Amino acid sequence: MLDSQPGPTSNRIKLAKEIGLDELPTGCGSEIAAVRGDGRVARELLTLGLVPGVNVRVLRRGLGGDPLEVSAGGHPVCLRREQTRRVRVLAVSDPD
């Protein structure tokens, strides 16, 4: 049965949009939404554990942003920018 009285929640909602893993700031975490593309590179990413639903965090970036070291499901993985663009994550933000 549903409670008819609202709880102590904020009247603000959070918006989620899909961005590339390469766009996620260093130190931030998110959840993988999808791995785009087909072929060898997408299969390799999936084999490394970068599958939808897994939590991922950006640990470090090389000079110029390439390569990118991430933690996927608690395991560190280094990826090139070309690969991180294929991994789509959910970015959550508050509306202004």
Residue-level pLDDT at 21: 92
Q: How far apart are CA 8 and CA 45, in angstroms?
A: 41
The answer to whether 36 and 88 are in contact (CB under 8 A) is yes
Q: What does the pLDDT read at residue 17? A: 84
Q: Cα Rg for the chain, rounded, in angstroms?
A: 16
Query: How many CB atoms neighbour CB 32 within 10 A?
Result: 21
CATH 2.30.30.90 fits 18-90, yes or no: yes
What is the per-residue pLDDT across 65-93, written as a single tens digit (0 to 9) for each?
789 999 998 899 999 988 999 999 997 65
34 and 51 in contact (C-beta within 8 Å)?
A: no
What pLDDT is recorded for position 73?
Answer: 87
- Residues forming a β-bridge with 29: 57
